[in-house]
Structure formats: C-alpha cells, structure tokens
Amino acid sequence: MSGSWKITLPCTRAEAEAIDAIGELPFDAVLMTTEVVLDDAEAWRLDAYVEHRPDAALLAALADLAPSAAGTEPDIEQLGDEDWLTMSQAGLEPLHVGRFFVHTGDAEPPAGSRAFHIAAGRAFGTGHHETTSGCLAMLDTLASDGRSFANVADIGTGTGLLAFAAVALWPEAAVTATDIDPIAIDVTRDNAAANAIAVGDGAGAVALIVADGTLDDGIVARAPYDLVIANILAGPLVSMAPELAAIAAPNATILLAGLLETQRETVVAAYHECGCTLETVDRRGDWSVLRLTAGAERFVPSAPFDPKGRDGWALDL
C-alpha cells in the first residue's frame, strides 16, 4: 500500500448535511464534514480519507458532493501509513450529554459521569452527530423521569453507543443491538469490550445481530421490546415503520433519529399509520429526534415486509 490520503474540498452546510445523510457510498472512503466558521452556512469543509492514491473518478465523485466548490482544486495530502480512519476522527472533542461522557481518545471524565470510550473506527456513531447526541439526551431524560425498560432493541447500532447507554441506564434490561453492516457489529463487539459491557443474551448484556432491519429470527424471538431505538435515516425509517411497530410491545417507547426536520412529518405519518403517537420532538439544528408511543395493542402488519424498501437510504423526503 502506498499510504493513506486525505482530500479536502470546501462545501456549504446544506451540502454537509446531505453528505452526512448518505448511506452506503459508491466508493471506498470515510467522509467528514466540519464547520470552518461558526454559524456561517457557506463555510464548511469536506474531508475524504482513502487508503489509495485518489484517481480522477474519485475526485469527480467527491466534487459532485460539493457543487459549490466547482472550479476549486481539491487539497490532496498523502498521510503515510497511519490509520487513516483513526486520524479522521482523532480530533473530536469529548462530548458530555446528561450523565454520559463520550470520547474517542484520552480524556478525564467529569465526576459522576458514565464514560464511554468509542474508538475512531469503521462505523458511524461516536456521539458527535446531532442525531446520536440527541438520542443520548433523550435516553438520559427518560431515566431521569423514572422510566424503566426491560427489553431494548437498538436497530442500526453503528458503534453500539446507544445500546451501551441503555445498559448503563437500565442494568437489568436485555438489549439487542443490530446492524445491516457486519463491520458495525464487529466494531460494537470491540467497543463493548473496551467499555466493560457484557455481550450475550439476558439481563445486563447486549446481544449482537447482523440483520437488515428486523429481518432476523433472533430479533423477532426477543420481541416484543418496550424500548425501540432506530438512529438511521428518514428513508429506511419510513419503509421500516411496520416492522419496527411490529416488534414493539403495547405502549412501548420508540426513539427515531437520523431525519431532518423537513422530513419529520413524513416519518411521523408512517408511524401514525402503524398506531404510534408522537410524544416529543428534540430539534437539534436541522435534525430532529422523535419519541413516540406504540399503540395500546401490538401492531400486526397487513403485508409481508419488503427489504427492497431499504433502497431509500438517502431518500429526499
């Protein structure tokens, strides 16, 4: 290997949000967007980290993600043989949300906090994006309000952070963490070990399952869940509404994230059709985190689930 490479282009906040909402990339890279000038929607930056010398096709694909940078030559830097993904996230500041303290490197947690070390790695979810930090805050609020849960599902777990938070808040709960990406489940297993989180079945442990949505016998066998968390994107949240509602217990709490505020009505409508009621919205910038309550009777879908609906990872709603 000739070393790692970093490609940098200017972009706008709108472009950065669109980039953050991309699911599976058509090329092998890790993308990071950063606000360069505080509260300036035009002054953002796109950094792409790759393990090979960027070719014309890759540069063109990156340019398509930041059309405002048309005519600007990208800054291309060879990084050497370092762990390029770790470098892309190593500079993230620690995050303090409620009782949780999330860091990617060496940091001293505040007294009384529950610290999680989420290493810069190959999966989304260090807690720094508004959707993940919003879910942490909402989970913290539920616990502060005296709510308790015995059976939790974290659909699209990424790094496992939200599943770990559920175990920390409700140590007697059984938690199931799933992701469509096997790499994410490997990362979650590593992060669990680093944070002294038990992996396995039963109370106080996280069961790890590679699955497309809820399409796995292990997920269904553990249902119904009294807390369902899904921090993904608006497109799959809509297409997966019947199956997420189907694994929820009557009156279960459902947390949904990964959607823009402009997409909220469409997402809420999909879950309303499945008997769910919107309770709370936590808006963070252009993103929203939703807390819903499942119907008083367990939802029974009227048709088989269609995994083709997952194609909407970057659906413009």
Q: Which residues are annotated as a binding site for S-adenosyl-L-methionine?
A: 132, 156, 179, 231
> What is the Rg, in whole angstroms, of the alpha carbon atoms belonging to the chain?
20
CA atoms of 119 and 125, how far apart (whole Å): 10
Please name the amino acid found at residue 45: R
Neighbours of 273 (CB within 10 A): 12
Q: Is 31 helix (H, G, I), strand (E, B) or coil?
A: strand
Annotated binding residues, written as ranges, equal 132, 156, 179, 231
CA distances to 32, 124, 205, 247 from 201, in Å: 35, 24, 6, 17
Closest listed residue to residue 104, CA positions, set 84, 79, 87: 87
Burial (Cβ within 10 Å: 0-12, 13-18, ≥19) of residue 203: middle
291 has which bridge partners? Answer: 255, 280
